Amino acid sequence: MKIKRVVLSNFRNYKLSAYDFGKEATLIFGPNAIGKTSIIEAVHLLSTGDSFRSGKIDEMVNLDTEVSRVSCKLVEASDESEDSEDLEILLNRGTVGGRRTQKRLYSLNGAKKRKKDFVGKFFSVVFRPEDMRLIEGSKTRRRKFMDEALIILDWQYARSLKMYEEALVKRNKLLWQIKEKLVPKSTLKYWNMTVLKHGQYLQKKRQELLDFFSQVDFPLPFRVSYRPSIISEERQAEYEFKELASGHSLIGPHKDDFLVFLDDKNSLKNNPSGESSSVEFDLATYGSRGQQRMGVLWLKVCQLSYIETLSNQKALLLLDDILSELDETMIEKVLGLLEDRQSIITSADSDAVEQLSKYISSFESINLNEEMNNGTKF
C-alpha cells in the first residue's frame, strides 16, 4: 500500500490542509517552523498510531480547538487496483464539549478500531537529524530505536512493553515504601513476577531484532552487540538487597543497551607481517564523526530491512530534513534507499530541488511557501 492523500485538520499549526502524493518520491520544502515536520509526523502517526516527536497528545492539538484529525487514503502500490482504504485518527485533550473522552480514536473506512487493529496498514521508517546521535547518544535513544520496529510488527511486544513500564513504576514505588518501612517486603512478589514475565519477552525479541542485522548487506563491516540487563529469578534474588537499599529497580530491559562495532581493515604496508589484518572497535568510543554517521545509516538500513522482511511490504521512507546533515557520499547512499519504495523528503534548503534532481529522475515538489500547496512536478 502507498499513501495517495493526507489531510491535516487542526493538527499542530495546521487548520485544514491536504497534500497529494502521486509519485514515488515527494519533496516538501520551506523555511524552518513552517510545518514540514508536522506533515511527516502525521504520516508516521497514521502508520504506527504514535508520534515520534511527543507522547503528549495535547501538543498535537491546535491551541484554538479541542479536536484534531489526521487522515489518509491508501491505495495499492501497483496502481492496478482501484481498492483503497481510509485511515483517520482523532486527537483531543481528554475532554470535548466538557465531557470526558478517549484522547485518541482510530477509524478505518469510517469504522472505529482498536489501536492494534488500526496500525500496520502501511509501514514507515523515519530518518531525522536527531538520529545522528543514535550511536554516541543516550541508552534511552538506543532502546527506543529497538522498540520502534518491534512495536509496529508485534502487538504482543507492544503490550508487554506497556505492561512492563507500568509494573516498573509500581514496583519502584513499593521498593521505596519498603525502604521506608511503610509496607512489608512480601508486597513485591506479584510485581517481581510481572516485570520478569514481560521483561524476558522484551529481551528475547530485542535479541532477535539485533541478530537480524547481521544478515543485512552494507558496504562497511559493522556489527551490533546487544548488552541486555538480564532479568531472571536468580538475578532478582541477587539484586534484592541493593534494590531495597536504593529504592528502585536495578535490572531489566529499562537498562538495556547495544554497541556498534566497525571492523577496520588495515593496509598491508602498515602490517609488518605483510598479511592483511583488521581491528574491531567500538564506534561510540573510537569512531570518527564520519564513521559514526555511517554507522547510524547502517542501523536505519537494518531497521528498514527488518520491517520489510517481516511485513513483506515496502515501507514508506520519511526523510525529515536529513540531507543538510550529510556529506555528498552519505546523501548518495541515503537517496539510494528511495528506489522501489515511496518516500517523502523535507528540506529547508531552497536548493533541495536541484540537489534531489541529481539522484532522482522523477519526483514531486511541494512548496509550503506557496498559497496553493498542490506541488510542482519535475
Amino acid at 2: K
Cell numbers of 145, please?
530505536
pLDDT of the residue at 374: 46
pLDDT of the residue at 276: 53
How many whole angstroms from its chain centre is CA 68?
Answer: 22
Residue 372 reports pLDDT greater than 70: no
Beta strands in 232-356 (DSSP E): 257-266, 277-282, 316-320, 343-347
Residue 81 reports pLDDT greater than 70: no
170 sits in which H/E element: helix 155-179
pLDDT of the residue at 277: 60
DSSP secondary structure of 21-73: --SSEEEEE--TTSSHHHHHHHHHHHHHSS-SS-S-GGGGB-TT-SEEEEEEE
pLDDT of the residue at 267: 36
Nearest-angstrom CA–CA distance, 299 and 209: 11
Give 163-196 pLDDT, tens digit per residue.
999 999 999 999 999 999 999 999 999 999 999 9
pLDDT of the residue at 346: 94
CB 47, CB 55: distance < 8 Å: no
The b-or-e profile of 148-168 (16+ CB within 10 A means b, else e) is: bbbbbbbeebbebbebbeebb
- Pairing of β 16-20 and β 2-9: antiparallel
Helix, strand, or coil (residue 172): helix
Give 192-207 pLDDT, tens digit per residue.
999 999 999 999 999 9
When pLDDT is cut at 50, 70 and 90, the band that residue 378 belongs to is: very low
- State mean pLDDT over 137-161: 96
Q: Which residue has the higher pLDDT, 255 or 351?
A: 255
On average, the pLDDT of the chain sits at 90
Nearest-angstrom CA–CA distance, 161 and 166: 9
Contacts of 269 (CB under 8 A, 6+ apart): none
Contacts of 237 (CB under 8 A, 6+ apart): none
∠ CA 49-147-238, rounded to 5°: 135
When pLDDT is cut at 50, 70 and 90, the band that residue 98 belongs to is: confident
What is the rounded (10 degree) CA torsion for 296, 298, 301, 306? Answer: -100
Other beta carbons within 10 Å of 92:
22
When pLDDT is cut at 50, 70 and 90, the band that residue 333 belongs to is: confident
pLDDT of the residue at 361: 79
pLDDT of the residue at 371: 41
pLDDT of the residue at 376: 41
Nearest-angstrom CA–CA distance, 229 and 224: 16
When pLDDT is cut at 50, 70 and 90, the band that residue 61 belongs to is: very high
Amino acid at 241: F
pLDDT of the residue at 55: 67
Contacts of 293 (CB under 8 A, 6+ apart): 132, 325, 326, 330
Note every long-range contact of 99-106, with CB atoms under 8 Å and residues 24 or more positions apart, other chains counting. Answer: 103/57, 104/49, 104/57, 106/49
φ/ψ of 66, rounded to 5, equals: -100, -25
Percent of the chain with pLDDT over 90: 71
pLDDT of the residue at 197: 98
Give 267-311 pLDDT, tens digit per residue.
333 444 555 566 899 999 999 999 999 999 999 999 999 999 999
Percent of the chain with pLDDT over 70: 92
- State mean pLDDT over 112-138: 93
When pLDDT is cut at 50, 70 and 90, the band that residue 356 belongs to is: confident
CB 32, CB 102: distance < 8 Å: no
Separation of first and last alpha carbons in the chain: 23
Give 221-233 pLDDT, tens digit per residue.
999 999 999 999 9
Helix, strand, or coil (residue 217): coil
pLDDT of the residue at 309: 96
- State mean pLDDT over 102-107: 93
Q: Which residue has the higher pLDDT, 242 or 375?
A: 242
Beta strands in 119-248 (DSSP E): 124-127, 222-227
**Nearest in space to 215 (alpha carbons), one of 86, 150, 149, 308:** 308
Which domains can be identified in the chain, with CATH numbers?
1-123+313-378 (3.40.50.300), 133-310 (1.20.1050.90)
Give 360-370 pLDDT, tens digit per residue.
878 898 999 86
